[in-house]
Amino acid sequence: MPIDTSVITGTQAHRHSIDSSDGGFLQSAVTGMTNLTEGGIIQGAAGNIQTNLPIGAAGERLAVNAGATALEYVAAGGGASCSDILNVGNAGQNLTLCQWLELGA
């Protein structure tokens, strides 16, 4: 870790401990955070324990599970397409989404 004081200059070999005054990254053996995955998300779990949520697959999105207790990856929803027929309000017109957008509705 680079250090520059009136007493010490240069890089000092060091080991981080639980004491936050040491600064920098903590070793996984000290933090308890092991088995992390590249691109994963650290999330809280019951009992104040952090867990790793591995990165989802291409095309998935992050969502809250049905019990509202954790995050999960789900298939991305489709949404509306330009050719979908929409009846807006009481206009009595069935137009495609793109036609409504062109009208400025």
Residue-wise pLDDT for 9-36, tens only, equals 666 565 656 565 655 655 555 556 667 8
**Maximum distance among all Cα pairs of the chain, rounded to whole angstroms:** 82
Whether 21 is in a domain gets the answer yes
Whether 4 is in a domain gets the answer yes
Whether 80 is in a domain gets the answer no
Instruction: Kindly report whether the global pTM for this prediction surpasses the value 0.75.
Output: no
When the pLDDT of each residue in the chain is averaged and rounded to a whole number, the result is 74
Whether 84 is in a domain gets the answer no
Report the alpha-carbon distance of residue 12 to residue 42 in Å, rounded. 30
Whether 20 is in a domain gets the answer yes
Whether 12 is in a domain gets the answer yes
Domain that holds residue 27: 1-34
- Which helix (H) or strand (E) element contains residue 86? strand 85-87
Higher-pLDDT residue of 86 and 54 is 54
Domain count, the chain: 1
Say whether pLDDT at 55 is over 90: yes
